[in-house]
Amino acid sequence: MPHARRMAAIVCFLGFLLLGSVGIALSQEKPVVVNLMIDADITPSPTHEQLLTADFSLRNLTTPADSSGSNLTIFVSGNIAAEDRLGVTSQGNRPNHELAMHGNMLNEKLSSMPYGAQLAALTGANGSLSICYVCGQAHREIKGFMPQTFDQNNDTLKALEQLGFVYDAGFQRGLIYRPGHENDTWPYTIGGYNLTAVPVSTFTLSGERLYLDDEYIKDVKKFSSSQWYDLLTKKFDESAKNGDPMVVVFSNLVSGTGDYLDAYTKFLNYATSRGAAFVTTMQLVEMAAVKGAKLPSIQPSNASRVTFCPSCAAEAKTEKPIINISVKNQSCSTCGQNKTNSTKKS
């Protein structure tokens, strides 16, 4: 009998371990899918100081995600791509970053333009962004778009299709949507166009549906940073319960500094501690297209300081994070020309 009792206890213990491991596997099988959309913007014709501030605020948003290897998408306006080519190249060259287009300039209204003007503006922005890559390395095709202030019309879709874009993130669940897709949380095909709509997440608070964009939340709804953080965590928990992805927009002009930056980093910690799977927008589109697709692997990033050749934008890694610029000439190993090292003092 003692032997039988011991055997029974061992069986029960092993069963407990098995159930526990199954529970862990189940909890990890469907983690909350989080798509961080980083809105990189700058005022037209920026001063040198404004350019440095924009670059610094963008790094404030990407560095916390990079430290854990979390995937994200940076939506870059044509204006900032032209003004800060090296900074955009640095961001786009990281393996966990996707570069996408955020219109041509801050607060532009595409819907007020005829088709020809929209096509010209988007073509110019796409050209500025497409050259932000390192010579000799794989060129990353720009596949995604999000309009400034979500302003667009059918001519925008026509122009995007003409330019060969894959997805348009100018939609919001239950607020801005294509017919029949009011409640869609995952990307869906836009009828009549060879494009995929990506809806930004919304959350109903006190009977009002709010879309998860920090600029809207701060400037329009006047939420404090703590209220914004509470909204983010509530949406995360709701997404976990419903099996929905969480798609949220953070602007460098809002969350790149101050209290809203604190709310952003706190949310990243909250989501990471609960096993969130961070994906780029393109990865989210691919997941929606293939039901049951395996979650993409998270590639760790290198958060070291980088320098670039102004002729070909070739990257040379150095040892520390960067803030302020200093200059030194040397020969570029990629194109052979003298280059200026854009290093920055910590």
Q: What is the pTM of this model?
A: 0.75
Domain extent, residue 223, equals 30-289
Closest CA to 186 of 72, 292, 296, 76: 292
Q: Does residue 311 carry a pLDDT above 70?
A: no
Asked whether residue 237 falls in the same domain as residue 320, the answer is no
Residue 303 has pLDDT above 70, yes or no: no
**Tokens coding 246:** 């969480």
Q: 249 and 311: one domain?
A: no
Domain membership flag for residue 203: yes
Q: Give the pLDDT score at 86.
A: 73
Q: How far apart are the C-alpha atoms of 311 and 134, rounded to whole Å? A: 10
Report, as an integer, the average pLDDT of 206-227.
97
Position 235 scores a pLDDT of 98
Structure tokens, 85: 């080519």
Is 30 a residue whose pLDDT tops 90? no
* 269 shares a domain with 216: yes
Assigned domain for 323 exists: yes
Token look-up 């037209």 returns: 44
Question: Does residue 310 share a domain with residue 284?
Answer: no
Q: Which of 83, 103, 88 is nearest to 42 (CA)?
A: 83
Q: Are residues 337 and 199 in the same domain?
A: no
Identify whether 13 is part of a domain: no
80 in a structural domain: yes
Tens digit of pLDDT for each residue in 233-283?
Answer: 999 999 999 999 999 999 999 999 999 999 999 999 999 999 999 999 999
Query: Please, are residues 250 and 102 in contact by the beta-carbon 8 Å criterion?
Result: no
Number of domains in the chain: 2
Q: CATH number for the domain including 270?
A: 3.20.20.370
Confidence of residue 120 (pLDDT cuts 50, 70, 90): very high
With respect to residue 296, please indicate whether it lies within any of the assigned structural domains. no
**189-212: string of b/e by CB count within 10 Å (b at 16+)?**
ebeebebbbbbbbbbeeeeeebbb
